[in-house]
Structure 1
Amino acid sequence: MATKAKIGIIGGTGLDNPDLLKDRTEKVVSTPYGTPSDALILGSVEEVPVVILARHGRKHDILPTNVNYRANIWALKEEGCTHVIATNACGSLQEEIAPGNVVILDNFIDRTTKRETTFYDGTHLKGVCHMPMEPAFCSHTRQVILETAKKVGIEVRDGGTIVVIEGPRFSSKAESNVFRSWGAHLIGMTTSPEVALAKEAGLCYASIAMATDYDCWRDCGEKVSHKYVLETFHSNVKKVLQILLALIPRMGQENWDKTVKEAQALAKDNVM
């Protein structure tokens, strides 16, 4: 029997409209790693099952460091998701990626220091997981996102490296320029450990990232601020929403047998 996709969406801004999901319900869950950021929002888009989880809570009151990434990913896995599509608002470290541009990430640099980064901590899951992180994001899922964006006429960048900082503060100019010197394209606060945990869980994970600002490295123009980030995000979020609403039915038509089996085997085979 062919693997049927069930899509977990982390972020979910724009998909909180109850009219967008068919048969929408809410489900409060707990996990061995604690409570997820919010209730799971269950429903479907053109008969493809979807689970939406607000990463920072629907009141957006959870700091990036305090997000229970393990509980979030575990909850989606237990709900039967095969895929996770993350949405991320982030800063641009390169002139050619302007505020409002969308990037389909393909790599990351983790600069966080305070987060639980593995399920295998000796409490619920025993052993040690040495998970390969190349490719960091699911190549098959990324390709389907790129094809979908092209079909609906939304220009996206194919590939980009995001630096993940602890937050909640933004970078200093010196830090921003260091990250630029590394060749990074974007800067954010939530991709790690989310991407690594999804791999440990055997889920196919990809990210649709939107640049909301130029961080603080430029000598001209608006510097990053909470107000500026929100203004740019809300004026451009319809792009991400349009991609998602076309992507979900497209993923329901795709053959995921090989991809899902490989993700699950990778998760199993790298535990000592």
Structure 2
Amino acid sequence: MSTPRIAVIGGTGLTRLKDLEITRRQVMHTPYGEPSGPLVFGRLNDTEIVFLPRHGARHTIPPHEVNYRANIWALKNAGIDNVVAVAAVGGIGEEMKPGMVAIPDQIIDYTWSRANTFFEGNDLEEVTHIDMTWPYSDSVRQTLIRAIDDLGIEAVEHGTYGATQGPRLETAAEIDRLERDGCDLVGMTGMPEAALARELGLNYACCAVIANWAAGRAEGEITMDDIAANLDVGMARVKQILTHVISSLS
């Protein structure tokens, strides 16, 4: 049996991959506790991959309680090299319209109290500082962008992701602050996931689905019905993109 080299982390709206021919599920026990669920091994587009739903199979784990360290450690120890992390986000910038896909190239971390590094404890041989100048793998990002271009999907091929604590949505004033800071998108799972992947040497990039306008960017309140409708549109595009890129990344 070949070892998969690519994993997909599914976010809100992507708890399973359609057309994934599942070959096995593996429960992983890590030094950091239990991952969000068993790793799902299978074939998509004739390529071996691993799928992991970030919020659990039934979407019951809120963003601030995801065991990011266990998830990333489990993928690394399954032999994964490349990770495409799918995330539902809010749109801040004018071009970040609900239903669209974005491939961010930067991130700002506003989270707190999350276990955010593997480099801690009394058994460290040295202090390690990872370079996060460019937080996402350029090779994975470019593969996603080429797939988007080949498929003719309307998407934004850049952007700064503001990672907030959750699980509540943000206030309009908080979104104003994020925009002043340079954020184009807002989500709750981008960190520490990206940093942990970098610490373990994984090639990691985010494929963001814009589920709604962020607070104060549209009239009225943000409703779950609107989010669900936009996710249906966006995730259909994401599944096309994933099918297209997986063979390239493998």
Could you tell me the TM-score, scaled by structure 2's length? 0.93
Deviation at 1:103, TM superposition (A): 0.5
Letter in 2 for 1:74: W
Query: Which residue of the partner structure matches residue 238 of structure 1?
Result: 236
Partner of 2:101: 102
Identity of aligned residues (%): 36
What does the per-residue CA deviation read over 1:147-181, in whole Å, with 9 as the maximum and x for residues that have no partner? 11111121221111010000000111111111111
Partner in structure 2 of residue 87 of structure 1? 86
Shift of residue 251, structure 1, vs aligned partner: 1.9
Report Cα offsets for 1:67-119 as digits up to 9, x if no partner. Answer: 00000000000000001100000001112211011110101000001101101
In 2: Cα distance, 1:41 partner to 1:123 partner? 34
Q: How much has 1:249 moved relative to structure 2?
A: 1.3
- Cα distance, 1:14–1:190 mapped onto 2, change above 3 Å: closer
- Distance in 2 (alpha carbons) for counterparts of 1:240 and 1:98: 15
The equivalent residue for 1:226 is: 224
Q: Which SS does the other structure have where 2:147 is aligned?
A: helix
Q: 3-state SS of the aligned residue for 2:201?
A: coil
Tell me: CA distance 1:22–1:123, structure 2 relative to 1, closer, same or farther (3 Å): farther
Instruction: Give the match's secondary structure for 2:192.
Output: helix
Q: Is the 8 A contact 1:90 1:209 kept in 2?
A: yes
**TM-score computed with the length of structure 1 as normaliser:** 0.85
Residues 125-161 of structure 1, C-alpha deviation per residue, up to 9 Å, x if partnerless? 6543211101110011111110111111212211110
Matched-pair contact (CA < 8 Å) for 1:10–1:55: yes
Flag the 1:5–1:222 CA change in 2: closer, same or farther, 3 A.
farther
- 1:176·1:215 contact (CA, 8 Å) conserved in 2? yes
Question: Residue 72 and residue 65 in structure 1: after superposition, are their counterparts in 2 closer, same or farther (change >3 A)?
Answer: same
Aligned length: 247
The letter for the 2-side match of 1:32 is: P
CA RMSD, Structure 1 to Structure 2 (Å) = 1.8
Of 225-234 and 209-218, more deviation after overlay is shown by 225-234
Matching of residues 144-163 of structure 1 within 5 Å: 144-163=143-162
Q: Name the stretch that deviates more: 46-55 or 220-229.
A: 220-229
**Is the contact between residue 92 and residue 185 of structure 1 (CA under 8 Å) also seen in structure 2?**
yes
1:120 alignment partner in structure 2: 119
Alignment of 1:23-62 (within 5 A): 23-62=22-61
- The answer for the alignment partner of 1:169 in structure 2 is 168
Which structure 1 segments of 5+ residues have no match? 253-272
Answer yes or no: is the 8 Å Cα contact 1:89–1:211 preserved in 2.
yes
For the structure 1 residues 95 and 72, does the alpha-carbon distance in structure 2 shift closer, same or farther, using more than 3 Å as the test?
same
Cα contact 2:15–2:59 (8 A) shared by 1 = no
Q: Does 1:203 align with 2:202?
A: yes
**Stretch deviating more after TM superposition (62-71 or 227-236):** 227-236
Paired AA for residue 243 in structure 1 = I
User: Would you say the 8 A contact 1:15–1:241 is kept in 2?
Assistant: no
For 1:25-52, what per-residue CA distance to the aligned partner results, in whole angstroms no more than 9, with x for missing partners?
1111111111000111001223422010
SS where residue 75 of structure 2 aligns? helix
* Displaced runs of 4 or more, over 4 A: 12-15, 123-126
CA distance in 1, matches of 2:219, 2:193: 32
* Alignment partners' CA distance in 1, 2:156 and 2:216: 21
Query: Any idea what SS the aligned residue of 2:245 has?
Result: helix
- Residue 16 of structure 1 corresponds to 16
